[in-house]
Each structure stands twice: as C-alpha cells, then as structure tokens.
Structure 1
Amino acid sequence: MTTAPEPFGARLRRAMNTRGPLCVGIDPHAALLADWGLGDDVAGLERFTHTVVEALADRVAVLKPQSAFFERFGSRGIAVLERAVADARDAGALVLMDAKRGDIGSTMAAYAAAFLGPGAPLRSDAVTLSPYLGFDALRPALDLAAATGSGVFVLALTSNPEGPEVQSAVTADGTPLGRHVLDRLRAENAGAAPLGSYGAVVGATLAAGPGGGPGGLAINGPLLAPGIGAQGATAADLPRVFGDAVGDVLPSVSRGVLRHGPGVAALRDAAAREAGEIAQFTGAGA
C-alpha cells in the first residue's frame, strides 16, 4: 500500500518550530550581484546562489528563490536554479518557488507540474500563485499540491503599493477581492492539522489590523509576510497586522539578510538575528 506524502503544512509547522519562523528570499538582481563584487552574468548568478544555499539551507525554515532572476539568463540560469532547489532541499530547507503563476486549464496544470510534480527538475515544496484569473482556475495546482504533499501561497493582500487597486475591488456580494481569496483558502484548509497546506501572501506592511472580516486573517494555513526591512515593516508590526493569526506567519526577508554577503558566516549571523527577532513577536520557533 502506498503511503500518502506528509502534507506541506505539517512539514512547514515542524520547520518553523525547529528552525525559526523565517523565509529568506534568493533574489540575485543586478544591484545585489554588484554589491557582492560579482558580475551580472551566469557565473555571478551561480556564485551568489551557491553561497546563499551553502550558508542558509541547513538552518532556515524556508528558502524562496525568485524565478525571474534566474529566467533572465535563459537555460543556463534555469540550470543554476535547478541545482539550487535540489541542494537546498537536500540540506533540509523547504523551498518555496516564487513564480507567481496563474492561468487556466491545461496551462495551469503544466505550471503546477513544473514546480510541484514528482521528478520535475524544479520540484519545490511550494509555489506562489496569482488568483486573478479566478480562484477556481488554480484548481490543477491545488489538487496536485494535495496529491504530492506540496503547498501553495496565493496572492491575497500583498505588500506592494499598487496591490489595493485590484485587491480592494469588491466581488458581486460586496466582499473585497483580497478577503475573498482568504475566505477561499480558509475553506480549502478546513480540518487540516497542525496547519493547512494552502497559504496566502499577506504583506506585513498593511496599514490596518485584521478586523473587518470573519476570522480576521486566519486561514488555518501559513501566511507568507513580505515587507519587513526595505519596504518599511518590522517584526514588531506582525502582532498588529496579523492578530490571533500571528503564530501562522512566515515572514519573508531578502535584502535584510542578503546585503550581509558574500561571507557565509555573515549571512548566517544575519539570518539568525532576523529569525530571533521575529520569534519574539510570533511565538514560533526556537
């Protein structure tokens, strides 16, 4: 009899409890490569990515490579990404592929297979998705995630200033679209323990707290929280923004850690400081 894979939500909860509640982005944009003294080329990309994985994959809960920064170098960049995903997972980190895919039908199924399919070269533990072709258009990814013990993080209330233009628009029943996405994810996660595998992206930069909707921001699933550091939010903002759901928050930090490279020890120290500060305000992690 085939044993069902352990759900992503359970694996993420364990990682957050043992390694601390921190997701570190791998964002090798041109300016950061230059800051590290590296060229804006495949060699620089490879050196940067290998260093981050070497420094952090055996100690942080989640690594989040931004696919676009690898795609811009074509097939050679994707090859670097494939190796990074495999090496990070081998070292014990969960890998969240920041791809923000969203489409319909067979195309959505193909995106899901690319990032969550067994044996796929870019097989990750979870992937970010955009729901703005309709939440149910994501069904192929949701179903594959359930079948493979993977996860998804769906854009809901993002940290970028342009987000409210779409996310504050109301549905036919008067519900703001961002909150509608949270409601749908809450339904998908119903009954999951210790944590659902269908997460939301909710910015730590939100101006208001979680009031104004049933259940606040809690979805019985993880809440990926970008915006700490360069975008102006701090760990101290997390209880205000997330309220009772703060224990399910996975803050995402990129520049706040990566700017301390290229030294491995300095990257590790920076990640440990971020994780420790975040744990003070979320109650998660060691």
Structure 2
Amino acid sequence: MTLEPFGARLRRAMDQRGPLCVGIDPHASLLAEWGLNDDVAGLERFSRTVVEATADRVALLKPQSAFFERFGSRGIAVLEKTVQEARAAGALVVMDAKRGDIGSTMAAYAESFLHKDAPLFSDALTVSPYLGYGSLSPAVVSARESGAGLFVLALTSNPEGREVQRAVRPDGRDIGATMLAHLAAENVGEEPLGSFGAVVGATLGDLSTYDLDINGPLLAPGVGAQGATPADLPRVFGSAVRNVVPNVSRGVLRHGPDLVALRDAVDRFAREVRAAVASV
C-alpha cells in the first residue's frame, strides 16, 4: 500500500513533535566518547540507544549510511534494524546516502531506498543532483509511487560546495537557485507540504537573494557543533523558516550514552527551534 505523501506526514510530525532532525552519525571518535568499541557491536549499541532516546519525540531521524557501510554487510544489517526500529517508534527516517547517478544506476539506488518493500526503505533519501537535475528522475518517480520524499543538495554548508552551487548559468541564475526552482516545480499544488525538499545549510548567513519558498521542506544541517543556533534560523531562512527542519547531530549525541541526557538535549533544541519559528 502506498503511504500518505511524505510532505503531509512530515508537516504533521513537525507540528506535533517540533521541527527537529537528529542525525545518527556513529563515527569512530563518537563511539569512543561513549565508551564503545569501533566495531559492529559498538555500532549496534550506539544506534539502538539513539533510537530509544529520540525516536518517540523527533520528527526526523537521519542515519548517515557511510558510517554503517564501513563495517560491510554486518554494518548494513545494523542500518536496516535502525531504520525499521526508528520508524516503528514513530519517527520518520531520512537516509543520508547522497546518491546521485544516471539511468539504470539511479533507478537501482531508488529501488534500494525508496521501494516500499526494500529492506532499507526510508521515508526520504538525500540525493545529489550534480549530474544534472534530470538524472534524479528515477528517484522522483519512485518517491512519488511509494509516498516517500527526497532532499536534494542545493546550498550546502561545506565551503567546497560554493564552486558548483554558486556557479552562475548563462541566464544569470546560479546552480543552487536552479535546484530550488526545480524543487518548487515538483511541489506545485501539494498540500500541506510538498515531498521534495532541499538541503540548505544553516551556517550560510543571509540567503534572502534565494527563493526558499519551494512549498517543500528545507533540511538545514549546521545547528549545534557547526556553529549555527536555533535563533539564527529566521535570519537565514526568512519567511521559509516554518518549513525548515534543522539537523542536529553532535549537539545531541555528545550527551550519550545516558538516555535521560539525550532526551533532555533533544527537548531543549526542540523548544529553542519552536521559539525561533514562532518569532517570525
């Protein structure tokens, strides 16, 4: 059975739980901070703890696929369980895999993460459009068929991204703005929110020259350890801030493995984000 569209499910989750995404990023240094070994057992303990602490209170959980893939098939098995347990506990899951390719290869990536019967089926997937936005067509089609969503890299917070995303086209519009325009076209007429979102860094400062009102969600990394705060969101995103889902990883995860401390950190960020959005 096809799910209700991702945008509608996300809008409801944001309104009920607050617009917050917590990353599940089990890199070696963080496992060590938790007193865990950098092995599959440590990976599983870390992931289950994050899910237990957060999946019943955040809108989105975002496992970073690479940190699971580095352990091979056993790591992928942990990732499958993490996705399934997070969704069963009520969180929406965006798989942070940043896939991008052409033709049958992009279709295979879409089948891996967006087909409703796939072991790694997720509510949304991060994708890279830098083989041309049209190369994402198989993922767009698969997402629509399953009720899933996409988050397309548009204006990322890493400094290296500028050489591609801020490059200016012959029509005078830069590549990041072009990606936003493509997403706005995907979301036309969708209510209460479209399912095709953009990744836009919260550390980028004033983005008022960009049209961020794409009628879709804006996944905003950079809050917490990277320097942005919830109070910065209105200044960066302007009138589009109501559709922003700030992503926090280390700012929450550094409080583990204590469940109470993790939950307190999530609740604190959620309150601060709600207050920032309400101020606009």
Q: TM-score range by the shorter chain?
A: over 0.9
Secondary structure in 2 aligned to 1:194? coil
Aligned to 1:249: 244
Secondary structure in 2 aligned to 1:162? helix
Identical residues among aligned pairs (%)? 70
Post-superposition offset of 1:124: 0.4
Distance 1:118 1:241 in 2: 35
Distance 1:127 1:162 in 2: 22
Post-superposition offset of 1:128: 0.1
171-180 or 111-120, which deviates more: 171-180
Post-superposition offset of 1:207: 2.4
Opposite residue 195 of structure 2, the aligned amino acid is S
Asked whether the 8 Å contact 2:206–2:237 carries over to 1, the reply is no
Distance 2:200 2:242 in 1: 14
Distance 1:207 1:165 in 2: 17
Secondary structure in 1 aligned to 2:95? strand
Opposite residue 78 of structure 2, the aligned amino acid is V
Opposite residue 190 of structure 2, the aligned amino acid is A
Opposite residue 198 of structure 1, the aligned amino acid is F
Structure 1 position 239 matched with structure 2 position 234: yes
Query: Which string of whole-angstrom CA distances, capped at 9 and with x for unpartnered residues, describes residues 140-171 of structure 1?
Result: 00011111100000000001111111100012
Opposite residue 9 of structure 1, the aligned amino acid is G
Unaligned runs of 5+ in 1: none
Query: Which string of whole-angstrom CA distances, capped at 9 and with x for unpartnered residues, describes residues 219-249 of structure 1?
Result: 0000000011121111111101111100000
Aligned to 2:48: 50
Structure 1 position 272 matched with structure 2 position 267: yes
Structure 1 position 225 matched with structure 2 position 220: yes
Aligned to 1:159: 157
Opposite residue 219 of structure 1, the aligned amino acid is I
Aligned to 1:209: 207
Secondary structure in 2 aligned to 1:140? helix
Distance verdict in 2 for CA 1:270–1:105, change over 3 Å: same
Aligned to 2:115: 117
Aligned to 1:191: 189
Distance 2:169 2:197 in 1: 21
Asked whether the 8 Å contact 2:205–2:235 carries over to 1, the reply is no
244-253 or 227-236, which deviates more: 227-236
Structure 1 position 65 matched with structure 2 position 60: no
Opposite residue 56 of structure 1, the aligned amino acid is T
Distance 1:206 1:98 in 2: 20
Aligned to 1:81: 79
Opposite residue 199 of structure 1, the aligned amino acid is G
Equivalent residues in 2 for 1:103-114 (5 A)? Answer: 103-114=101-112
Asked whether the 8 Å contact 2:14–2:59 carries over to 1, the reply is yes
One of 35, 38, 51 as aligned partner of 2:36: 38
Secondary structure in 1 aligned to 2:37? coil
Aligned to 1:259: 254
Secondary structure in 2 aligned to 1:155? strand
Opposite residue 193 of structure 1, the aligned amino acid is E
Distance 1:56 1:126 in 2: 18
Distance 2:206 2:274 in 1: 22
One of 127, 134, 148 as aligned partner of 1:150: 148
One of 164, 171, 174 as aligned partner of 1:173: 171
One of 13, 22, 40 as aligned partner of 1:24: 22
Unaligned runs of 5+ in 2: none
> TM-score, normalised on structure 1?
0.96
> TM-score, normalised on structure 2?
0.98
